[in-house]
Structure 1
Amino acid sequence: METTATTYDYDYDNYSDDPTTLVAPCNRDVDNYVGAQLSILYYFMFLFNLVGNGLVLTIIYRFEKVTTVTNILLLNLATSSLIFMSSLPFLGVYVQLSDWIFGNVMCKIVGTVYYLGFYSSVLFLTLLTFDRHLAVVYSLSTSRMRNRSYAFVSCLAVWSISSLACIKPMILHTTFVNYINNNTYCQEYPGDFPSIDVSQVRRCGFYIQLFLFFLFPLATIVYSYIRIAVTVMSSKLVTRFKTVKLVFIIVMLFFICWTPFNIVLLMHDGSPNCEQERKRSYALHVTRNFAYVYFCVSPILYTFVGKKFQTYFRRLIMKRLPQSKRYLTSSRYSRSNMSTKSTAY
């Protein structure tokens, strides 16, 4: 659906406390049209995430006990990904119409759900990566520490930090009306709120986003996978090259999908002109979709790389589709033969 409404870039200095008193100096039709076309992907991401993470949760529930650290973290990662993706259909409609039609209460809810899922997904990915680093590099010395209490405390800390980080969008996200085209917007209100130092809240939100949800996860993931790669390469495992290749793919996906979005998101200019804001908007529309794709596939990627989960998946398929049993069994036998031959060298 094409965007029929006109959206604008607003000048913060020209706002009053009245949300209907808006100044619209910069027409943003073109870049918002691009965003509206790309937002069609939100619906496909939501459906793919619903099926993929639903499958992850089903396998953990049916075949695994939620007692191991890895399963507890995977369960929380899949849940946070589902929370995040549940906001995308609403955002897709909003971007395509350039008009929020769901009311102020849903604006607050969707904005909070978006950031809660967004922040918790980043931290759970970081925690899961660091836990794998502990399991591989310090397998013996950390075996006692990596218990259910450690997992529950870690997950509680992630949800608490993510919830606290949502205070800013809970305060600043609201609906307001553009008096020029009578469209309703649902986003961070650029004006001032009574009894709230909005500039201080925005500044704190900026640094929290920069350090806690970008630099810290990036440094932790890179460090953890470097240590994992070094440990695996120095061992005598037959599958070490396959493991290192997988590690490289995961790290590269994180860089490609996550880093550009954060760089564009954190670009801050005190007084950008209209053309600069259009260019930044184009970049945001493209890089945002790459970041969403990573959040969409990461729980599935972290889960199904393990042979145990692949076996559970085959068992689930064969139970639901008995006619596939012959194909899956022969395919598994062929891969086993190939693996046996390759270990002879």
Structure 2
Amino acid sequence: MDDDSQYLLFLDLFNETYDTTDPSYVVSQNVKLCAKNSVNQFGAKFIPVFYTVNFLLSYLGNGLVLLVIYKYEKLNTVTNVFLQNLVFSNILFASSLPFWATYHLSEWIFGIALCKMVSSAYFIGFYSSILFLTLMTFDRYLAVVHAVAAAKSRKKVYAIIASVIVWVISVAASVKELVLRNVWVHPVNGLMCEESGLPQSTMEYWRLVTYYQQFLLFFLLPLIMVLYCYISITVRILSTRMKEKCRAIKLIFVIIVTFFACWTPYNFVILIRAIQISRSSLDEESCSDSDKLDFALYVTRNIAYLYCCISPVFYTFVGKKFQSHFKRLMAKKFPCLKKHISLNSQSTRTSSQRTPHSAYDY
């Protein structure tokens, strides 16, 4: 295609895009535009790498957890029902990452149907993963702090109902992605898969809903529950004669610090962005400040996503029981490793007879 043909095609796309613009988008005041070249270059270079790494780690780690559960564990226990749902939510989330990696490399080439479906799967998996992590923490709290009462209530039905509630909340929080996401042609960046089609004020309103929903419902509330549950568990463990008390407390500390360190930066960036939109100060914001916020969002978001992808491994293979299962699996698949792997079958056989304080293999 010669230069004239490319120029005419550009004009056609430009006119097609802006002829269909909603009149309510037109404003009478000057609008400050930032080129964001450095941000776009950073996104094109590093975001696909981050997403690819997250995708591979998620499928490897979650697949391994799923394999161990199905091979060595009872599937109908409360813990394993939650764990299976957590794995499925992470796999659903990770399945969207190759699409977004390709999108950052060039443009959206998958059509409007996949734009809506991938966006919905992305948020459903992300939200449900956070909620299932919180639910597993709460269930761990019940099993340790309220062991007697929990023994009667922690049945498979309870786990199924709680899991259904989590999926319903996650789907409901992601419906707007299915409705608002559309594919449109940008005169410079090509095909875009973004929220569009409504007046600017309406789009800003729903963007604020997303940000505050993310911060309050999917960060602040889970964080408060995680802190309360693990502090209560720590107090309970300290009051017992548990042999590996120090190891249990260290593990709890690591879980809390990791959860806080991975999720807090991303969610505070989200909160800052929401406050800026609420105050309608985006027009007064300098391009350098806007670029810094975009860079911060890219980096902190990927840290949070990485934790989301590897959380099942973190929550399972730190326990002695899953470590034993993994060793057995490796010894079976790779006989040459048998002499280097110490198997303790006794620990596996007696794992179900442990006290409630060690029910989760601290």
Tell me which residue corresponds to 2:299.
286
Tell me which residue corresponds to 1:314.
327
Q: After the TM superposition, which segments of 4 or more aligned residues of structure 1 sit over 6 Å from their partners?
A: 18-24
Tell me which residue corresponds to 2:342.
329
User: Is the alpha carbon distance of 1:203 and 1:281 closer, same or farther for their aligned partners in structure 2, counting shifts above 3 Å?
Assistant: closer
Q: Among the aligned pairs, what percent are the same residue?
A: 42
User: Is the alpha carbon distance of 1:283 and 1:198 closer, same or farther for their aligned partners in structure 2, counting shifts above 3 Å?
Assistant: closer
User: Displacement of 1:18 after TM fit?
Assistant: 7.5
User: Is the alpha carbon distance of 1:253 and 1:19 closer, same or farther for their aligned partners in structure 2, counting shifts above 3 Å?
Assistant: farther
User: Displacement of 1:210 after TM fit?
Assistant: 2.6
TM-score normalised by the chain length of structure 2: 0.81
- Take 1:288 and 1:197, find their aligned partners in 2: how far apart are those partners? 25
Choose the corresponding residue for 1:123, options 124, 131, 148.
Answer: 131
- Take 2:219 and 2:127, find their aligned partners in 1: how far apart are those partners? 10
Tell me which residue corresponds to 1:186.
193
- Tell me if the contact between 1:19 and 1:176 (Cα under 8 Å) persists in the aligned partners: no
Tell me which residue corresponds to 1:93.
102
Tell me which residue corresponds to 2:356.
none
Choose the corresponding residue for 1:28, options 15, 36, 42.
Answer: 36
* Match status 1:215 vs 2:220: yes
- Tell me if the contact between 1:20 and 1:176 (Cα under 8 Å) persists in the aligned partners: no
- Take 1:214 and 1:304, find their aligned partners in 2: how far apart are those partners? 25
Q: Which amino acid aligns with 2:239?
A: S
- Take 2:229 and 2:76, find their aligned partners in 1: how far apart are those partners? 24
Instruction: Show CA shifts across 1:225-257 (max 9, x none).
Output: 111111112221121111111111111111111
- Tell me if the contact between 1:229 and 1:244 (Cα under 8 Å) persists in the aligned partners: yes
Choose the corresponding residue for 1:113, options 121, 125, 142.
Answer: 121
- Tell me if the contact between 2:58 and 2:91 (Cα under 8 Å) persists in the aligned partners: yes
Tell me which residue corresponds to 1:304.
317
Tell me which residue corresponds to 1:338.
none
Q: Which amino acid aligns with 2:241?
A: K
- Take 2:266 and 2:296, find their aligned partners in 1: how far apart are those partners? 8
- Take 2:294 and 2:211, find their aligned partners in 1: how far apart are those partners? 18
- Take 1:259 and 1:19, find their aligned partners in 2: how far apart are those partners? 36
Q: Which amino acid aligns with 2:74?
A: K
User: Is the alpha carbon distance of 1:37 and 1:235 closer, same or farther for their aligned partners in structure 2, counting shifts above 3 Å?
Assistant: farther
- Tell me if the contact between 1:38 and 1:285 (Cα under 8 Å) persists in the aligned partners: no
Tell me which residue corresponds to 2:174.
166
User: Displacement of 1:198 after TM fit?
Assistant: 4.3
Pairwise CA RMSD: 2.5
Tell me which residue corresponds to 2:359.
none
**Residue range with higher mean Cα deviation, 32-41 or 86-95:** 32-41
Q: Which amino acid aligns with 1:160?
A: V
TM-score normalised by the chain length of structure 1: 0.85
- Take 1:250 and 1:199, find their aligned partners in 2: how far apart are those partners? 36
Q: Which amino acid aligns with 1:258?
A: W
User: Displacement of 1:133 after TM fit?
Assistant: 0.7
> Number of paired residues?
315
* Match status 1:265 vs 2:261: no
Tell me which residue corresponds to 1:57.
66
User: Is the alpha carbon distance of 1:240 and 1:321 closer, same or farther for their aligned partners in structure 2, counting shifts above 3 Å?
Assistant: same
Instruction: Show CA shifts across 1:270-302 (max 9, x none).
Output: 222233221110100110111011111111111
User: Displacement of 1:178 after TM fit?
Assistant: 1.3
**Residue range with higher mean Cα deviation, 22-31 or 282-291:** 22-31
- Tell me if the contact between 1:19 and 1:177 (Cα under 8 Å) persists in the aligned partners: no
Q: Which amino acid aligns with 2:139?
A: D
Instruction: Show CA shifts across 1:187-243 (max 9, x none).
Output: 2228529xx954554444343223211111111111111111111122211211111
- Identify unmatched segments of 5+ residues in structure 2: 1-19, 346-362
